[in-house]
Amino acid sequence: MASKPYPLEIRDLEPHEAEKMKVFSGEKTGFVRIGPKGYIVQSRFLEVAADIYNMEIRPSDVFVNTYARSGTTWTQELVWLIANNLDYDTAKSIVLRQRFPFLEFSSIFHSEMIQYYLEQNKGDEKKQKEIKMMTSHIVDQLASAPSPRFIKTHLPLSLLSPNVLNAKVVYVARDPRDAIVSFYLLSKSMTFLGWTGDFKSFWDLFISDLLYWTPYFEHLKEAWEKRHHPNLLFMFFEDLKKDLPAMINRVSDFMGKKYSDEEVATLCEHLHIKNCKKNPAINIEIFKELGVTKPDLEFIRQGKTGGWRDYFDEEMIARTDKWMEENLRDTDLRFPSAE
């Protein structure tokens, strides 16, 4: 793909910020901020930033867009099945990451970590091929992919193509306290991140806008401001948990589909957390085999709301309450009750 201009500002972190981010030992060349909001991305993202921003958007494309650990995988499976006439056979036989590729995933892998994984799996041609495929940029692959294309991303709307809303975008927001607990537990197991700190350190980076894809609230607000656009469906993870059949019907309407109550009930059963946890098509067991994650990785966890209370001390609760209040002051965005 020919390189096109990249109009967004790219700037280095302040020295004290860069020092704090060294706790991610897997990112050998550091992080940068992009755009007027100063979103945090790893250095390798610059290899693909312009291609992502300038990628051709097809009207048939479907994006699932979230901040990390906001019910992304759950929503991907839901959206894919609704769009594909509840084709469970294909959903079970082709892994989700192939049906619904992660747009910027390759950029999270530093080149030194890629070489490390290749070395660790030397002599196993199948694993070598898997690592190379997983860590190569997918924009070129998407260019030749048949329609409709299903694309997952954690990038805020402003780092995607300005034409992204020519496609369908399903955006899911989650209470940041639950999202950050889930992101922390995942990061501990992802060896390519090299996270070496405790939860409080992780949370501190999050509310200081020094974690992947932060500032968190700017990410959400960009989508919230577009919630009335006919091609963007804004949902809350808490509503998915509270009334999945109703949310399935919302997504179906958005996708121009209609399913019976019986079909919706069957989809709800397929998406039940107990079934998701044992569904190999939506888990990433191959990552454990490659050493990309630790053996203890539980990719599909509990899908709970309100579980953050088990991780926050009183000081963290007070600071987070203040942080949320300040960031919600200028918007009518509110998270649904976790009850």
Asked if residue 4 belongs to a domain, the reply is: no
What is the rounded average pLDDT of the residues 286-314?
77
Six-digit token pair at 203? 């949370």
Give the whole-angstrom CA distance, residue 325 versus residue 204. Answer: 17
The Cα 33–Cα 29 span in angstroms is 13
Q: Structurally, how many domains does the chain consist of?
A: 1
72, 237, 286 from 303: Cα distances, Å: 11, 9, 22
Q: What are the pLDDT digits (tens) for 105-149? A: 999 999 999 999 999 999 999 889 989 988 999 998 899 999 999
Handedness of CA 305, 311, 312, 314 (dihedral sign): positive
The alpha helices in the chain, defined as continuous H runs, are 15-20, 49-53, 72-83, 88-93, 96-99, 111-120, 125-134, 139-143, 176-189, 199-207, 216-224, 237-242, 244-254, 261-271, 273-277, 285-290, 314-328
| Whether residue 307 has pLDDT greater than 70 | yes
Q: Is residue 337 part of a domain?
A: no
The string of pLDDT tens digits covering residues 42-58 is 999 999 999 999 999 99
The answer to whether the CB of 142 falls within 8 A of the CB of 160 is no
- What does the mean pLDDT of the chain come to? 93
Percentage above 90 pLDDT, the chain: 82
**Separation between Cα atoms, residue 160 and residue 72, nearest integer Å:** 17
* CA 273/CA 292 separation, integer angstroms: 24
Percent share of the chain, pLDDT over 70: 96
Q: Is residue 250 part of a domain?
A: yes
**pLDDT-based confidence at 336, cuts 50/70/90?**
very high
Q: Does residue 57 lie in a domain region?
A: yes
Instruction: Grade residue 1 by pLDDT with cuts at 50, 70 and 90.
Output: very low
**What domain range is 113 assigned to?**
10-328
Mean pLDDT over residues 297-302, rounded? 54
Residue 281, domain CATH: 3.40.50.300
Residue 2: inside a domain:
no
Would residue 336 count as lying in a domain? no
The residue-averaged pLDDT of 294-299 equals: 64
pTM: 0.94
Decide: 209 and 38 in contact? Cβ < 8 Å.
Answer: yes
